[in-house]
């Protein structure tokens, strides 16, 4: 406790607060650009932190991380494009809200949810790091396989009109993830003799292509901007106090999403990319009015954005205690820690506790500062998107998309893949195959494959190798959850088909259609 | 524009084609690298067949609607690919300027008549946008953008 | 695939190119240098490059830009480099052994050749190490070998990647000791730590860095180096225990084949200076600083190729 106070005082200097403020703002800008990820933001910052003291450097990294995960919500809401993979679920309700002229409401809700999520993550990290870390290492290959399967049951709920088409999209996504070098075996697959394809299809490239390009094409074809014009907007603007009241008066959603965010964040490898999807799915499952999700339900935005910001501090649990990065950006923070001679472990909390606690608290400060920076930035960016005529908006977004995709791996091939997937995505959407299941398959395919093959390899002496998949208690629990998840998603659908429930499928126009 | 199309059959056929493209080059891949993709390919095929069957028995959607102008859709689609293809020939800055002007002109024509004066008026905005992002990426973010023949 | 004839032919062309080199290149470097890292940011190659960057800039007097071109375990960047880089020393690329030996043998579309460039220097190496967790029943390498003799294939060892330095040296160890183990590849060192801490594998065959990073919770049974590593003074080498296994990953930097000698020498000196300045930061982490240049590069390559080549050809 004493150490916490001491850390807090060392943090409340003008210099530190300024570092956090600048870091959050810079992170927000980077996160809001499709293609520029939190990992890249941290990597770019790395050289600057060399010249700083250890604590200042870590504070800057933590602030940028927090800002960039949050920044992804902006584009998700305003132009239906997740700026980072962790904000995919924000598009589901955020963009419909924006199309109804409630963009600012969605942005404010996302901001408040992010602040809460960020702070909750910090609290978890401060008080529960050691027990959570023990849970993190319980996830071995067979458990990871089931985690991926659990994620794939989301396909059932992501595919609104046809389950088969959703599953088809998921399979396409998984197969896209197998292009390139195999995670186990090291051979190159499906490259068609073209060496650059060894690099495979990067998740973010597919994400940008499948989400942005169809949206741009629709805007161009219809001759409209992303959002309806300004006149409509004024009437519907709601005060922030009202939005906050709405969110906090029903805390169950918020609490559930934060818990989900924390549990998933500590599973190394699954990381932030799926937290928001799982939280969104659960928010809908527990909602009294699940049908309103996907059509502009503010709770969907809250669930997605609170859970993904828990992940920022949450994924530091295995990192700080065991040196295992929970999410890709954490690898860079690990590098900085090692560079300053700080070895992850319990010593980090005792011997160099001042530094560690300072770093953790600074993430809390960063989360708090999201509120003013986000609300102000949100207002500005919102205005810009609304006021800009669509004939400027389409080429501008296209340019940023191309730049971001290129910068990801310095590859023009990636830009080509992005355009091809995007164009294909437009037609797939027409025949009812949505982008979300494809991206989900792409995220989870690699995890599932690695877990599956590793488990089978380890079981080489067993008489029936695949039984290893369910030999640990934890993997049995997870397998049970997969069955349960699939059942709860499928049974209502089946009942509806039999006419026992009122029909679920009267809506058919998707988020990008003309409404 | 409304096109008559049985979407279930279309999706199923698409799944089969995609599966076939990946099925054939799989011969010389080692066991460890192929067991997983092979399993997924099998599932993909089953789902595709199921979709086709369903399409014949109980089709869900018999038509698709392309909102807006199909001609504009195809033009912009082709435009994006040209943009990409030209970057490596002409360099990022020049190609993007050309593409930006062309797209703005083409899309603005939907609403109004675009005169030379208007285009001229827009030039500083476009130059600032493209230049701003170009400089941010090359100078601040240290990304080496393709240079092509000129820059 | 045979490399021997090709190697010979290429060294002849290289020698010829050196003869032509004297053309007005005396002023190198005049422009900015691009230093390509073929891996994601945050890895060992990247962190090392970030350390080197300011020192290289000071030594060379121009700015050095580190850029990333990840994909295919390095192969994407390497094939692109061999196809398109100009031999003027303004584009340099990080290279790793055994990746550049293994990939072209293993894949028929790696897109590059092991020798189709000039390696300026290998600046450090990370020897392999056999690591088990603190509560493991094995206290020495002998314990593990005995158990493996009684229960073939039952002992699982995790490592980073397939036919990587970890995997190859584990296969050598199996041969030397006459035992059968089960190797399980993981994607990188992060998941490996979890697998060891969580008891999902009996041990790991990884680099010395992991031994120092996890010093509190693991036992290092053996290190695949000529002599004990400074950061792990208590960990015996394989050689001490009667197994002739020396190997690991070497990191270095390469330029295109026909790059003039003076340019290569300038770079050699700059990297050597960078090495001297970052020794005290990297050695405690478990890195072994190297100053391998010129003919020594070929010697190291030849040695490792001899050690790993047959295993890789077998696997093919």
Q: Which band of pLDDT confidence, cut at 50, 70 and 90, is reported for residue C25? A: very low
For chains A and B, CB pairs below 8 A equal 192
Nearest neighbour of A409 by CB, restricted to C70, C197, C212: C70
- Domain shared by B39 and B60, yes or no: yes
Q: What is the mean pLDDT of residues C303-313?
A: 85
Mutate to test the interface with B, among A391, A444, A445 (most CBs of B within 10 A): A391
For chains B and C, CB pairs below 8 A equal 8
Nearest residue to A32 (alpha-carbon basis) of A64, A63, A76, A66: A76
Integer Cα distance of C209 and A339 in angstroms: 13
Q: Which band of pLDDT confidence, cut at 50, 70 and 90, is reported for residue A508? A: very low
Query: Above pLDDT 70, what percent of chain C?
Result: 91
Residue of A nearest to C281 (CA): A339
Tell me if B151 is assigned to some domain: no
Whether residue C189 has pLDDT greater than 70: yes
Put simply, whether C65 touches B (Cβ < 8 Å) is: yes
**C83–chain A nearest CA distance, Å:** 11
pLDDT of residue A239: 81
Integer Cα distance of A116 and A77 in angstroms: 19
pLDDT of residue A505: 43
What's the CATH number for C4-125+248-315?
3.40.190.150
**A188–chain B nearest CA distance, Å:** 8
Least confident of A65-69, A132-136, A249-253, A443-447: A132-136
Q: What is the mean pLDDT of residues B46-68?
A: 88
- Number of helices (H), then strands (E), in chain B: 5, 2
Nearest neighbour of B11 by CB, restricted to A168, A174, A396: A168
Q: Which band of pLDDT confidence, cut at 50, 70 and 90, is reported for residue B26? A: low
DSSP codes of every residue in C90-115: SEEEEEEETHHHHHHHH-TT--S-TT
The 8-class DSSP code of residue B48 comes to: H
Q: What is the mean pLDDT of residues B110-123?
A: 84
Cross-strand pairs, A85: none
* Tally of domains in chain B: 2
- Averaged pLDDT score across all residues of chain A: 85
How far is CA B123 from each of CA B98, B129, C174, rounded to the nearest angstrom? 11, 10, 69
Contacts of C312 in chain B (CB under 8 A): none
> What's this model's pTM, rounded to 2 decimal places?
0.87
**A37–chain C nearest CA distance, Å:** 12
- Domain shared by B102 and B115, yes or no: yes
Q: What is the mean pLDDT of residues C157-181?
A: 91
Q: What is the mean pLDDT of residues A10-29?
A: 90
A6: buried, middle or exposed (CB in 10 Å: 19+, 13-18, 0-12)?
A: middle
Put simply, whether C110 touches A (Cβ < 8 Å) is: yes
The 8-class DSSP code of residue C236 comes to: P
Contact between B51 and A164 using a beta-carbon 8 Å cutoff: yes
Instruction: Identify the residue with better confidence: B111 or A512.
Output: B111
Whether residue C3 has pLDDT greater than 80: no
- Domain shared by B93 and B55, yes or no: no
CATH topology agreement for domains C4-125+248-315 and C127-241 = yes
Q: Which band of pLDDT confidence, cut at 50, 70 and 90, is reported for residue C4? A: very low
- Domain shared by B46 and B83, yes or no: no
Q: Which band of pLDDT confidence, cut at 50, 70 and 90, is reported for residue A509? A: very low
CA dihedral sign of residues A103, A108, A114, A116: negative
Contact between A171 and B14 using a beta-carbon 8 Å cutoff: no
pLDDT of residue B27: 62
Our measurement of the distance from residue A298's CA atom to the centroid of its chain's CA atoms, rounded to an integer in Å, reads 18
**C74, HSE (Cβ side, Cα atoms, 13 Å):** 24
Whether residue C271 has pLDDT greater than 90: yes
Instruction: Identify the residue with better confidence: A506 or C194.
Output: C194
Tell me if B32 is assigned to some domain: yes
For C95-125, write each residue's pLDDT tens digit.
Answer: 998 899 988 888 878 889 999 999 999 999 9
Q: Which band of pLDDT confidence, cut at 50, 70 and 90, is reported for residue A229? A: low
- Domain shared by B79 and B23, yes or no: no
Instruction: Identify the residue with better confidence: C13 or A441.
Output: A441
Nearest neighbour of C65 by CB, restricted to B28, B32, B142: B142
The listed range with the strongest mean pLDDT (A336-340, A497-501, C27-31, C147-151) is: C147-151
Q: Is A319 helix (H, G, I), strand (E, B) or coil?
A: helix
Mutate to test the interface with A, among C171, C180, C191 (most CBs of A within 10 A): C191
Q: Which band of pLDDT confidence, cut at 50, 70 and 90, is reported for residue A499? A: low
A14: buried, middle or exposed (CB in 10 Å: 19+, 13-18, 0-12)?
A: exposed
Whether residue A235 has pLDDT greater than 60: no
Integer Cα distance of C78 and C115 in angstroms: 11
Last residue within a domain, chosen from B65, B81, B96? B65
**A432–chain B nearest CA distance, Å:** 7
pLDDT of residue A1: 64
Nearest neighbour of B100 by CB, restricted to A223, A390, A395: A395
For A147-172, write each residue's pLDDT tens digit.
Answer: 888 888 888 777 767 889 999 999 99
- Domain shared by B51 and B101, yes or no: no
For C225-252, write each residue's pLDDT tens digit.
Answer: 999 999 999 999 999 999 999 989 999 9
Place of tokens 């069957």: B53
Residue of C nearest to A186 (CA): C162
- Domain shared by B76 and B60, yes or no: no
Residues contacting residue B19 through CB under 8 Å, at least 6 positions apart: A175, B41, B44, B45, B48
- Domain shared by B82 and B102, yes or no: yes
Q: Which band of pLDDT confidence, cut at 50, 70 and 90, is reported for residue A4? A: confident
- Domain shared by B58 and B74, yes or no: no
pLDDT of residue A252: 92
A67, A25 Cβ separation under 8 angstroms = yes
For C52-84, write each residue's pLDDT tens digit.
Answer: 998 999 999 999 988 888 888 899 999 999 998
Least confident of A190-194, C179-183, C268-272: A190-194
Whether residue A312 has pLDDT greater than 90: no
Using CA atoms in the order C271, C272, C278, C282, what is the torsion angle rounded to 10 degrees?
A: 90
Interface partners of chain A (CB pairs < 8 Å, 3 or more) are B, C
How far is CA A316 from each of CA A57, A133, A363, B32, C194, rounded to the nearest angstrom? 16, 10, 11, 33, 14
Nearest residue to C32 (alpha-carbon basis) of C65, C56, C67: C65
pLDDT of residue B87: 92
pLDDT of residue A290: 83
Place of tokens 């030209």: B86
**C147–chain A nearest CA distance, Å:** 15
Nearest neighbour of B144 by CB, restricted to C34, C108, C162: C34
Stretch 156-185 of chain C: residues touching chain A, C-beta under 8 Å:
156, 161-164, 182-185
Tell me if B146 is assigned to some domain: no
Tell me if B148 is assigned to some domain: no
Contact between B11 and A432 using a beta-carbon 8 Å cutoff: yes
- Domain shared by B9 and B58, yes or no: yes
Contact between C34 and B143 using a beta-carbon 8 Å cutoff: no
Whether residue A95 has pLDDT greater than 80: yes
pLDDT of residue A500: 56
**B114–chain C nearest CA distance, Å:** 42
Q: What is the mean pLDDT of residues A65-74?
A: 90
What's the CATH number for C127-241?
3.40.190.10
Place of tokens 């810079």: A26
**B70–chain A nearest CA distance, Å:** 7
Residue of A nearest to B73 (CA): A221
- Domain shared by B59 and B90, yes or no: no
Q: What is the mean pLDDT of residues C299-306?
A: 89
Domain boundaries, chain C: 4-125+248-315, 127-241
Residues contacting residue A93 through CB under 8 Å, at least 6 positions apart: A106, A293, A294, A295, A296, A297, A298, A299, A300, A301, A304
Put simply, whether C140 touches B (Cβ < 8 Å) is: no
Residue B7's domain comprises 2-65
Q: Which band of pLDDT confidence, cut at 50, 70 and 90, is reported for residue A194? A: confident
Chain B interface, Cβ < 8 Å to C: 28, 32, 142-144
Put simply, whether C316 touches A (Cβ < 8 Å) is: no
- Domain shared by B78 and B113, yes or no: yes
> What ipTM does this complex have?
0.94
């Amino acid at each position: 406790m004493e150490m916490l106070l001491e850390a807090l005082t060392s943090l409340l200097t003008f210099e530190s607060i300024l570092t956090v403020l600048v870091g959050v703002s810079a992170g927000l800008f980077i996160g809001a650009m499709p293609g520029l990820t939190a990992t890249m933001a941290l990597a770019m910052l790395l050289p600057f932190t060399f010249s700083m003291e250890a604590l200042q450097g870590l504070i800057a990294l933590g602030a940028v991380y927090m800002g960039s995960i949050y920044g992804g919500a902006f584009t998700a809401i305003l132009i239906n494009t997740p700026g980072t993979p962790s904000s995919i679920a924000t598009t589901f309700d955020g963009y419909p809200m924006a199309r109804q002229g409630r963009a600012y409401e969605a942005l404010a809700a996302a901001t408040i949810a992010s602040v809460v999520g960020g702070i909750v993550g910090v609290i978890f990290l401060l008080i529960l790091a050691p027990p959570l870390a023990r849970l993190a290492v319980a996830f071995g290959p067979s458990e990871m396989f089931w985690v991926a399967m659990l994620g794939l049951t989301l396909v059932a709920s992501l595919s609104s009109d046809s389950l088969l088409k959703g599953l088809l999209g998921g399979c396409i996504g998984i197969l896209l993830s197998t292009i390139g070098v195999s995670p186990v075996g090291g051979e190159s697959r499906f490259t068609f003799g073209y060496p650059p394809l060894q690099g495979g299809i990067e998740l973010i490239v597919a994400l940008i292509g499948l989400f942005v390009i169809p949206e741009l094409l629709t805007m161009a074809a219809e001759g409209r901007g992303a959002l309806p014009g300004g006149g409509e907007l004024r009437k519907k603007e709601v005060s922030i106090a009202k939005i906050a009241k709405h969110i906090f008066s029903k805390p169950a959603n918020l609490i559930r999403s934060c818990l989900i965010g924390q549990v998933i964040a500590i599973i190394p490898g699954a990381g932030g990319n799926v937290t928001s999807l799982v939280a969104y799915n659960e928010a809908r499952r527990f909602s009294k009015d699940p049908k309103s999700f996907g059509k502009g339900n503010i709770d969907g935005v809250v669930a997605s954005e609170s859970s993904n910001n828990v992940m920022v501090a949450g994924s530091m649990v295995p990192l700080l205690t065991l040196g295992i990065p929970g999410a890709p950006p954490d690898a860079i923070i690990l590098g900085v820690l090692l560079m300053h001679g700080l070895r992850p472990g319990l010593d980090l909390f005792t011997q160099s506790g001042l530094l560690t606690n300072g770093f953790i608290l600074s993430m809390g400060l960063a989360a708090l500062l999201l509120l003013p920076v986000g609300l102000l930035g949100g207002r500005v960016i919102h205005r810009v998107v609304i006021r800009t005529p669509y004939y400027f908006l389409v080429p501008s977004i296209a340019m940023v998309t191309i730049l971001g995709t290129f910068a990801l791996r310095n590859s023009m091939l990636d830009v080509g893949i992005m355009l091809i997937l995007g164009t294909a995505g437009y037609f797939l959407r027409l025949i009812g195959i949505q982008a979300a299941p494809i991206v989900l398959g792409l995220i989870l395919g690699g995890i599932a494959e690695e877990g599956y093959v590793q488990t089978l390899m380890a079981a080489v002496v067993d008489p029936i190798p695949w039984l290893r998949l369910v030999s640990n208690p934890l993997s049995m629990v997870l397998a049970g959850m997969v069955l349960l998840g699939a059942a709860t998603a499928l049974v209502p659908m089946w009942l509806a088909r039999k006419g026992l429930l009122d029909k679920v499928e009267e809506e058919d126009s998707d988020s990008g259609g003309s409404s | 524009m409304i096109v008559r199309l049985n979407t279930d059959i279309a999706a199923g056929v698409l799944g089969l084609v995609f599966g076939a493209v990946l099925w054939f080059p799989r011969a010389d891949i080692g066991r460890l690298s192929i067991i997983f993709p092979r399993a997924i390919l099998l599932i993909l095929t089953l789902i595709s067949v199921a979709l086709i069957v369903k399409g014949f028995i109980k089709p869900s959607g018999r038509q698709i609607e392309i909102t807006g102008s199909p001609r504009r859709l195809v033009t912009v689609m082709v435009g994006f690919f040209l943009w990409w293809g030209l970057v490596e020939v002409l360099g990022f800055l020049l190609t993007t300027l050309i593409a930006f002007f062309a797209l703005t002109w083409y899309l603005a024509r939907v609403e109004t008549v675009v005169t030379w004066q208007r285009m001229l008026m827009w030039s500083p905005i476009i130059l600032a946008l493209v230049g701003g992002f170009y400089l941010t990426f090359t100078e601040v973010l240290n990304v080496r953008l393709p240079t092509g023949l000129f820059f | 695939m045979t490399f021997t004839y090709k190697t010979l032919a290429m060294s002849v062309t290289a020698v010829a190119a050196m003869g032509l080199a004297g053309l007005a290149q005396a002023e190198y470097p005049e422009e900015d240098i691009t230093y390509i890292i073929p891996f994601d940011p945050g890895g060992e190659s990247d962190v090392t490059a970030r350390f080197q960057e300011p020192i290289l800039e000071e030594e060379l007097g121009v700015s050095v830009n580190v850029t990333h071109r990840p994909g295919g375990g390095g192969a994407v960047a390497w094939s692109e480099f061999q196809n398109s880089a100009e031999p003027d020393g303004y584009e340099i690329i990080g290279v790793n052994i055994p990746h550049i030996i293994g990939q072209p043998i293993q894949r028929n579309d790696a897109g590059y050749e092991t020798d189709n460039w000039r390696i300026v220097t290998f600046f450090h190496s990370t020897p392999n190490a056999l690591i088990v967790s603190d509560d493991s029943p094995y206290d020495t390498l002998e314990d593990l070998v005995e158990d493996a003799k009684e229960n073939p294939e039952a002992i699982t060892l995790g490592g980073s990647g397939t036919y990587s330095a970890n995997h190859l040296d584990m296969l050598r160890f199996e041969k030397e000791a006459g035992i059968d183990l089960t190797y399980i590849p993981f994607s990188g060192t992060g998941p490996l730590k979890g697998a060891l801490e969580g008891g999902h594998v009996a041990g790991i065959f990884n680099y010395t860095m992991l031994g120092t990073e996890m010093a509190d919770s693991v036992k290092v049974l053996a290190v695949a180096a000529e002599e004990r590593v400074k950061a792990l003074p208590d960990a015996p080498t394989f050689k001490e225990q009667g197994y002739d296994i020396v190997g690991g990953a070497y990191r270095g930097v390469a330029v295109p084949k026909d790059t003039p000698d003076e340019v290569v020498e300038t770079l050699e000196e700059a990297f050597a200076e960078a090495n001297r300045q970052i020794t005290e930061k990297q050695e405690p982490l478990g890195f072994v600083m190297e100053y391998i240049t010129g003919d020594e590069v070929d010697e190291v390559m030849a040695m490792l190729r001899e050690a790993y080549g047959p295993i890789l050809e077998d696997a093919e």
